[in-house]
Amino acid sequence: MRKIFLIGIKDVKIRARDPSSFIMLLVMPLILILVLGMVFQPLWTSTPFTIDVAVLDEDGGEFSKILLEEVFGSEQLKDMIKIKYVESKEEIIKEVNEGKIAAGIIIGESFSPAILRGEDAQIKILGDPEQAIKAGVIKNIVEAFTLEVLKRRIILGTSIGILVAENLINPAEIQQLIPVWLPEIENMDELIQIDKKIEKKMAKNPLAMEYYAVGMGIMYILFATNAGAETIFQERRNKTLERIKVAPVSEREILGGKLFGIFLIALLQFVMIVFFTRIFYRVNWGNSLLGIIIMILSSVLAFSGLSTFFASLTNSEEQIGNIGPALAMIFGFMGGGMWPAFLFPDWLNMVSKFTPNRWAIDGFLKLMYQEGGIISILPEVLVLLGMATIFFSLGVFRLRMKGVKVD
Amino acid sequence: MNIVEVKELVKVYNGRKAVDGISFEIKNGEVFGLLGPNGAGKTTTISMLSCLIPPTYGNAFIEGKSIIEEPIEVKRRIGVVPQDIALYPTLSARENLFFWGEMYGLSGKRLKEKVDEVLQVVGLTERSEDRINKYSGGMKRRINIAVGLLPSPKILILDEPTVGVDPQSRTNILESLKGLNKDGLTILYTSHYMEEVEFLCDRVAVMALGKIIAQGTQNELRLLAGKMDSLKVATIDEVQLSLVEVIKKVSETDEVRIADGAIEILTLQGRKVLPKIIEVLGNNGVRIKSVEVEEPNLESLFLHLTGKELRD
């Protein structure tokens, strides 16, 4: 056990003396957090959080009413989404260009009739790129609405088809019966579920700096653990692995020491990022110190496991050096490091759940913006520890199969 | 008493025998040399004795502990100095020594004392706080050796420890090793530098193509070479043919000839007969310009046994 500890400490000492590591693992993320935080701050802050939307309703039919009155006018959204009705498409474009609105919605002339006829119905959204998050929220709500409509149209179409075929109804009467068959959307909660999440997240006015402190901080853990994993191969290149092996040190102690080193390097790096951003960027990481410690440990463990597995799939430090940063960035972006995952399309939202980044970010955001404390982060912690276990097991198995070879 | 016993050791790599059934013993307190060109199997032999790689066949024992059955016990008894400089460049010499000492189970006061001691042995106490990447090649080599001394080994195994070292550092290293041996340390030394082995080793095994082709003391090996000493005495004055017969007599050899203003003599005891030859020439008024003595050495032995130069 003592030798495991000593090998890990030695790796940290070596890494700490490497100026390029210091820049890559500490200076870079801090600069990135600062830049992203400052650049994207306007997209994140608005007190209270409201989204200004312009609507051109050329339809005026049943379905546009449902969207505008029942969805946007619902209890959950009416305070957040401020609708302004306009008369022309040009007016929407002008408002978007001037940044006065986050998004414009154009409901086509034959939107409702087209839905009833089972034809393509068009609804257009124009968004202000500088208010991408807010525009994304509107896009998500409209997409959720159209999906719901599509679902109902299939059921409705089937029912009407059966009634007409059985001569139980005259086709001319269909239009009049629509309001009866298409009652008020009861399951509003399900329809706007995504937006509830937004409301929760936005409840305390998140700052871009805070979001990117979490997102980039988490992304850079993988850079740190990869740097730690490189030492397995450096040890071989420097012939020091050979020397450790001729000392009375077991292979288990050598491997344990290297893994401990990976964990320690990343732990120190992330703790320093948390500390630095708290002091100098005024990032509020939440009120639960224990929660923060648990999240830090479980996140670093998950990424250490991932890097161990990654190292076991590679054969040299060059391979880790070449592939590692790309992997870290892909995981970072997919896991919500750059944009909040609730803005992702469904498929990406699902994929992101396979990355430790997503669970780590969600856990920290809960500590920062919700009042749930440690209990609320339990699912994230369990998933991260599960990932750590799986990745470590696979990595260690493969590394032992390789035998930490020296020749 | 034998401290090392190697029995029919074989290592096969990809169907090729890197070490082919070698056997030898090393006595307590002696310096044993493994001499051979690159690729002879010296490093593979040392890797097996250090328990770094297992033998394909055969076995070896360090103080009676098998390298196969008791590798940890063997590792506790040996100090190994690898051919490459196996140190952490960004750590200081002292930090390196502390780390390696801890790997050998040393700690606390004992570790500190041992680190100070080995630094003194290799003469680098003054520079011990400098990082290894600030050291010259020779100094790195000395710290590399110091690491091998940390565990107070029963036997120090050195694999070509002077490769790439300047002559002054090499002499320094060899003198240090000689001193350690005088203090009772057993040494296994591999090299392809014949002069080093001749300077340092009591007994030598000559390796080629994975096999030991000869082993014994240096004198035994010289005799094995079957070569005589060659004396070349260049003269200012011409040597009369009648004098050749006298020289043959005092040199106890018939192999005397005159060529290019010099007398060339092949004899079994060159150093012993040289004063007599000089005396004969002086008594006969022949002035001497220069004298060269060439004795058979391990280089010539290797050439004799394999038909190849040691550095081929």
Cα dihedral A335, A337, A342, A344, rounded to 10, equals: -70
Question: What are the residues whose beta carbons fall under 8 Å from the beta carbon of A298, sequence distance 6 or more?
Answer: A360, A363, A380, A381, A384, A385, A388
Residues of chain B in contact with residue A231, where contact means CB-CB under 8 angstroms, are none
pLDDT at A43 over 80: no
What gap in Å lies between CA A203 and CA A47, rounded to an integer? 10
Q: Which residue has the higher pLDDT, A188 or B154?
A: B154
Amino acid at A61: G
Name the domain count of chain A: 2
C-alpha neighbours within 13 Å on the C-beta side of residue B194: 17
Last residue of a domain, one of A147, A172, A199: A199
Determine contact, residues A292/A367, Cβ cutoff 8 Å: yes
CB atoms within 10 A of CB B308: 11
Which architecture, in CATH terms, is B2-223? 3-Layer(aba) Sandwich (3.40)
Tell me what pLDDT residue A47 has: 52
Residue A117 identity:
R
Rounded mean pLDDT, A68-84? 82
The phi-psi region of residue A205 (left if phi > 0; otherwise alpha if psi is between -120 and 50; otherwise beta) is left
When comparing pLDDT for B158 and A399, which is higher?
A: B158
Q: What is the DSSP letter of B210?
A: T
The tens digit of pLDDT for each residue in A243-266 reads 998 898 888 888 889 889 989 999
A257 and A350 share one domain: yes
Q: What is the mean pLDDT of residues A154-170?
A: 68
Note whether A174 and A256 are same-domain residues: no
Confidence of residue A164 (pLDDT cuts 50, 70, 90): low
**Residue at A70 is within a domain:** yes
Q: Average of pLDDT values for B241-262? A: 82
Q: Rounded to an integer, what distance in angstroms lies between the CA atom of residue A220 and that of residue A320? A: 15
Distance CA B246, CA A58 (A): 133
* DSSP H or E segment with residue B222: helix B218-225
Token pair of A81 as six digits: 């989404």
CA distance B267 to chain A (A): 48
Interface subset of A 199-238, CB within 8 angstroms of B: 238
Residues A7, A85, single domain; the answer is no
Q: Of B183, B158, B149, whose CA–CA distance to B33 is shortest?
A: B158
Q: Does the pLDDT of residue A48 top 80, yes or no?
A: no
Place of tokens 């990745």: A391
A254 shares a domain with A148:
no
Would you state the pLDDT for residue A174? 62
Output the CA–CA distances (angstroms, integers) from residue B295 to A259, B75, B197, B279, B311, in the order listed.
58, 40, 16, 21, 19
Cβ-based contacts of B89 with chain A (< 8 Å): 238
What is the DSSP code (8-state) at residue B266? E
pLDDT of residue B143: 92
CATH among 3.40.50.620, 1.10.630.10, 2.40.50.140, 3.30.70.260 for B228-295: 3.30.70.260
Contact across the interface for A247 and B91, Cβ inside 8 Å: no
Domain-located, residue A123: yes
- Chain B residue numbers touching A13 (CB-CB < 8 A): 91, 95
Q: Are residues A182 and A90 in the same domain?
A: yes
Q: Say if residue A190 is in the same domain as residue A278.
A: no
B131: DSSP letter: B
A3 contacts on B by Cβ (under 8 Å): 102-103
Is the Cβ pair B103, A239 closer than 8 Å? no
Q: Answer yes or no: do A70 and A127 share one domain.
A: yes
pLDDT at A45: 59
Residues A156 and A295 in one domain: no
Better pLDDT: B10 or A43: B10
Q: Which of A46-55, A158-167, A226-235, A266-275 has the lowest mean pLDDT?
A: A158-167
Determine the residue of chain A that is closest to B95 in CA distance: A10
| Range(s) within chain B of domains with CATH label 3.30.70.260 | 228-295
Q: What is the pLDDT of residues A267-292, one digit of tens each?
A: 999 999 999 999 888 888 888 899 99
Closest-approach residue (CA) in chain A for B74: A248
Q: Which residue has the higher pLDDT, A334 or A402?
A: A334
Question: A108 and A156 share a domain?
Answer: yes
- Measure the CA–CA gap between A123 and A146, rounded to whole angstroms: 9
- pLDDT at residue A138 greater than cutoff 90: no
Under an 8 A CB cutoff, do A240 and B87 touch?
yes
A407 domain-assigned: no
Task: State the count of interchain CB pairs (< 8 A) between A and B.
Answer: 62
Q: Where does CATH 3.40.50.300 sit in chain B?
A: 2-223
Using one digit for the tens of pLDDT, what is the confidence trace for A212-233? 898 999 998 888 888 888 888 8
A316-330, B152-166, B292-306: least confident range? B292-306
Residue A184 pLDDT grade (very low, low, confident, very high; cuts 50, 70, 90): very low
Q: What mean pLDDT do residues B63-86 have?
A: 91
State which residues form the domain around A236: 2-42+206-402
Task: Calculate how close chain B gets to A372, using CA atoms only, in Å.
Answer: 46
Mean pLDDT of B159-165: 84
For residue A10, the chain B residue with the least C-alpha distance is B99
Flag if B47 and A407 touch (Cβ within 8 Å).
yes
Please indicate, yes or no, whether residues A246 and A265 belong to a single structural domain of this protein.
Answer: yes
Does A299 reside within a domain?
Answer: yes
Has residue A113 been placed in a domain? Answer: yes
Q: Domain end: A152, A167, A199, which one?
A: A199
Which domain CATH number covers A99? 3.40.1710
Reply yes or no on whether the pLDDT at A383 is more than 90: yes
**B-contacting residues of A 3-42, CB under 8 Å?**
3, 6, 10, 13-14, 17-18
Are residue A140 and residue A269 in the same domain, yes or no?
no
Q: From chain B, which residues contact A within 8 Å (Cβ)?
A: 47, 50-53, 72, 75-76, 78, 80, 82, 84-91, 95, 99-100, 102-105, 147, 151
Place of tokens 């009467």: A173
How many Cα atoms sit within 13 Å of B27 on the Cβ side?
Answer: 8
* Spatial CB neighbours of B73, under 8 Å, sequence gap ≥ 6: B65
- Give how far B233 is from chain A: nearest CA, Å: 51
B97-134 as b/e, with b when 16 or more CB fall inside 10 Å?
Answer: bbbbbbbbebeeeebeebbeebbebbebbebbeeebee
pLDDT of residue A250: 84
Q: Which of B44, B88, B158 to mutate to test the interface with A (most CBs of A within 10 A)?
A: B88
Per the DSSP assignment, residues forming a β-bridge with B292 are: B232
Same-domain check for residues A74 and A155: yes
